[in-house]
Structure 1
Amino acid sequence: MSSVKVECVVNPGTLLGEGPVWEESDQKLLFVDIAGQKIHRWSPSTNQIESVGTDDTVGFAVPRRSGGYVAGVGRSMVAVDWSTQKTTTLAKVDEDKPNNRLNDGKVDPAGRLLAGTMSKDDSFGGNKPGSLFSLTSDLTLTKLQGQVDISNGMDWSLDQSTMFYIDSLSLSVDAFDYDMVTGQLGNRRVVYRMKEGEGLPDGMTLDADGRLWVACYNGGRVLNIDPATGVRLQTISLPATKTTSCCFGGPDYSDLYVTSASLGLSQSEIKQQPDAGATFRVRGLGVKGRPSHSFAG
C-alpha cells in the first residue's frame, strides 16, 4: 500500500468550499464558496487563484462546451463569462420556494446538467423541500426527483447505466438506473448506509475503477466505497471536520482534491483546525479519476 499524503493546497478565506471540478484544458481546479458567493479557479503549477463574485449563494460551477461556465446562483442556473464576469440566466428553479437555493450540480456524460436544491435555512428539519433537476443543451428543464432534503453528490457508473446520488439527510449513498438517451431515472436503491460517526454524505466522485469517493460533512473524512458490494474499502482522514466534496485531478488524475468549510465552526474548533475551509490534495492513493464533462448548451 502506497503512503497517503494529505496537504492543504489553497484557502482563499473560504467559508463553504464545494464542487471541485478539474479543468483538463487549463490544468486548473474550479471550485465554489457557496456562502462567500465566489467561484474560484486555482492553478497548482503557478499557485495563482482567480475569482469571480456572484450576487447570491453559488452551489456549483461547471465548464460549458461553448466556453465559460454554468453556475447555480440562488435559484437560477446562469451562464458565466469569465473574462467579463457577466452572468446570463439560463433557467430558474423552485420559483414557488423562495427559501430554497441550488446546491450541488454535475454534468452527465451526455452533456446534461443535473442540479438539486435545498432549503437555505440550515434547520435540517427533514421536510424535504428540495428537488433534483436536469437542464439539457436546448435549455429544457425537467424535475427528476422531488421530496429531497439536501441534494448533493452525483456521478455515473463506468457503463453509464447507473447514476449515484446523495440526499445528505437520508444518510445513504443511493443509485438509480439511468437512461443516458432520455436522462430519466428509475429503480432507486441504497448502495451504502452511513455508519455512526461518519458524518453526512456530501459531494462525491467515481474513480476509473468504478469506485466511489464520498466526502463526509461533519465527519472529517472521505470514504472509498465499492458500489457493487456496498463495502467501505478505505477511509481518508482530513484535518477539517466539514469536508464537503471531492474530485480527481492533476495531469494524470491521480490527485484527489477535497473541499471543506469553516462556516459553522466555533472559535475553539477553528483553533483546532486552522485549515478549515481549505482545499486539500490527497496523493498516494494508487487510483486515478476520470475527466469531468462539460455542459453541452
Structure 2
Amino acid sequence: MVVNRRAQPRVKPLKSHKSKQGTNLFFANGILYYADAPVKKVVKYSVDDQDILSTVYTKRRSSLAIPVYKHSKLPPNMNIESTVLMSEGAQLKLMDLETKSEKDLILVDDAEEVSIGAAATHQTGTLFFSTIQLDKGTVEESHGGSLCCMRRSGKVTKLFDGLCVPDGLCFNGDCTRLFAMERGENHLVCSKLDDLSIAGPELVVDWNKSPLLPKTVVRGLTMDIDDRLWMCCSGEGKIIQVDVEKKRVLLEIPAPKARELSSLCFGGPEYREIFVASSYAALTQDELTKQVNAGHILRAKGYDVRGRKPFPVMIELNSSKSMKAAGSTRLAIQQT
C-alpha cells in the first residue's frame, strides 16, 4: 500500500461526539449516520461541522440508521431528505429525523431477546441484515441468529439460520458476494449471489485457528474500490486492509488511544477517508483513563485508499398490502 504523499497520514477523533458503541456507520453527503446500540439511540452527525444534527432515542436496542433512496415512496408526512430506515429491537421502521414522524414497517421477530444486528444494502436497494439474540442487552454469540433481507415493499425474507452477526456485513463492488463476520464460531464467511438466489455461507477465514491479526475480535467490515476488505479489530485497536483471496493483511492503521473498535465505513471527499467507531462499552475506569479516545468516531486521512459510495435503502410503501415476514431460502434480487 502506497501512502498518499500529498497529505500526512493521521488518525484523529472527531469533536462534539462520544458514543458507547457505534454500529453500522453510513456516510452520505457529508453526514455520518449510525446507531449507539447500548444507549438505544440513532445519530445524524455532520462531519464538516463536527456536530450532532439529530438524535433519536428508542425504547429498545437500536442498531442502524440508513438513508432512503431519493425515489422511494414514503408516507406524505415524511421528507425523503431527512428520513432514515432504523431499527428498534427487532422492529424496522422509518423515521424522519427532522419532524420525528415515524412509521413501523415490520416486526421481524416478536421475541423480547431478539434484535437487529449488522446490515448492508444491495445495489437494488434491498436491505440485508442479521438478527441476534440478547441477554440483558449483551449479545449471546452462542445462540446464533438469522440472515434476512427486506424488499422495497417492506416484506422480509429469512435466508439462513445459525449465524450471529452483530456487526460486520458488507458487499463486494458488484454485489455478487456478501461478507459477514460470524461471531458464534468467529469465522469470516462469504455468500455468493446471482440474479435469482443467494448461496449458503462459505468459510473464508477461521479467526480462532488462523487470525489475520492475533489477539483481536473483528467488528465492522467495509470494502474499497479494489474489492479489498477492511476490518476494524478490537483488542489491538487497529484498522486493517485484507487481500481476501491470499488471506493476507496489506495495511494496518493503529487507532490512537482506543483499543476497542465497533464499526467502520469510507467517507469524506471521494470516499478517501475512513471513519471508525471506538467503543467504551466494556472498559473499566482505569482503562478509560488510558484510552482517552474510547467512544469517539475516529477519522483516518492521508492514506492512498478509496472506498465505494454506499447504497441507500429503497422503500416503496403500498398501504393496500400487508407486510409479513416469510421463511424462504431463495431471494429475487431483481427490481420489482
Same fold (TM over 0.5): yes
- The alignment of Structure 1 onto Structure 2 pairs a total of residues equal to 293
Work out the percentage of aligned pairs sharing the same amino acid: 23
1:237 paired with 2:237, answer no
Structure 2 counterpart of 1:114 = 128
Partners of 2:213 and 2:118 in 1: how far apart? 24
Partners of 1:11 and 1:173 in 2: how far apart? 34
Q: Provide Cα deviations, 1:21-56, integer angstroms capped at 9, x if missing partner.
A: 1113xx211122111122112222222212222222
Whichever structure has more strand as a proportion of its residues is: 1
Supply the AA of the counterpart residue of 1:54: T
Relative to structure 1, the CA distance from residue 206 to residue 276 in structure 2 (aligned partners, 3 Å threshold; closer, same or farther) is: same
Relative to structure 1, the CA distance from residue 169 to residue 129 in structure 2 (aligned partners, 3 Å threshold; closer, same or farther) is: closer
Map residues 278-293 of structure 1 onto 2, 5 A cutoff: 278-293=296-311
Partners of 2:14 and 2:199 in 1: how far apart? 37
SS of alignment partner, residue 270 of structure 1: helix
Partners of 1:183 and 1:202 in 2: how far apart? 27
User: Structure 2 length normalisation: TM-score?
Assistant: 0.81
User: Structure 1 length normalisation: TM-score?
Assistant: 0.91
Relative to structure 1, the CA distance from residue 290 to residue 196 in structure 2 (aligned partners, 3 Å threshold; closer, same or farther) is: closer
Contact 2:119–2:170 (CA under 8 A) maintained in structure 1: no
Map residues 1-297 of structure 1 onto 2, 5 A cutoff: 1-2=2-3, 3-10=8-15, 12-24=17-29, 27-50=30-53, 51-65=55-69, 66=72, 67=80, 68-95=83-110, 97-121=111-135, 126-179=141-194, 181-182=195-196, 184-186=198-200, 188-191=202-205, 193=207, 194-195=211-212, 197-238=214-255, 239-297=257-315
Relative to structure 1, the CA distance from residue 126 to residue 250 in structure 2 (aligned partners, 3 Å threshold; closer, same or farther) is: closer
Supply the AA of the counterpart residue of 2:28: E
Supply the AA of the counterpart residue of 2:235: N
Deviation at 1:127, TM superposition (A): 3.0
Q: Provide Cα deviations, 1:123-167, integer angstroms capped at 9, x if missing partner.
A: 665433311110000112111121123443122222322111111
Larger radius of gyration: 2
Q: Provide Cα deviations, 1:104-132, integer angstroms capped at 9, x if missing partner.
A: 21211111111112222266654333111
Q: Provide Cα deviations, 1:237-291, integer angstroms capped at 9, x if missing partner.
A: 1121210111110121111000121111000000001211110000122010011
Deviation at 1:183, TM superposition (A): 5.3
Supply the AA of the counterpart residue of 1:55: K
Supply the AA of the counterpart residue of 1:224: Q
Deviation at 1:169, TM superposition (A): 3.6
Deviates most, 243-252 or 32-41:
32-41
Relative to structure 1, the CA distance from residue 182 to residue 265 in structure 2 (aligned partners, 3 Å threshold; closer, same or farther) is: same
Q: Specify every segment of 5 or more residues in structure 1 that has no aligned partner in the other structure, as ranges.
A: none
RMSD: 2.0
Partners of 1:48 and 1:32 in 2: how far apart? 16
Relative to structure 1, the CA distance from residue 156 to residue 210 in structure 2 (aligned partners, 3 Å threshold; closer, same or farther) is: same
Q: Specify every segment of 5 or more residues in structure 2 that has no aligned partner in the other structure, as ranges.
A: 73-79, 316-336
